[in-house]
Structure 1
């Protein structure tokens, strides 16, 4: 399965939620980096980490697909 096929395949609900959280983190980090006022170096570094972390979370969540198989139930 290619990356493009994976990106177009259905995404499980849990990973859709994670993808949305990743978008939000990346947007918050971008807002900190693009702030029109002077911010302390720690806040700028935090903005960079939020942007990268959000982008990675979004990318991984987007290419996670359902395989269509259900695990066998084990009744104790």
Structure 2
């Protein structure tokens, strides 16, 4: 199975929830990182880590597929 086939295959229900949560986390972290005001350095650092974690969680949950019968 190629990566392209894997990405367009059906995703299990649990991992759809994980993917949606990752999208929300990514949106929150991008809002914090691009805020036009000065924020504490620790908050910006945490938002950076959250952005990375949400990207990884989103990609992995999208790549997870249901068992298929061959």
TM interval, short-chain normalised: over 0.9
Q: Which residue of 1 aligns with 2:23?
A: 23
Structure that is richer in helix per residue: 2
Unaligned runs of 5+ in 1: 70-76
Residue-pair matches, total: 69
Q: Calculate the aligned-residue CA RMSD, in Å.
A: 0.9
Q: Which residue of 2 aligns with 1:3?
A: 3
Q: Deviation string for 1:11-52 (max 9, x for gaps)?
A: 000000000000011111111100010001001001101111
**After the TM superposition, which segments of 4 or more aligned residues of structure 1 sit over 3 Å from their partners?**
none
TM-score using structure 2 length = 0.94
TM-score using structure 1 length = 0.87
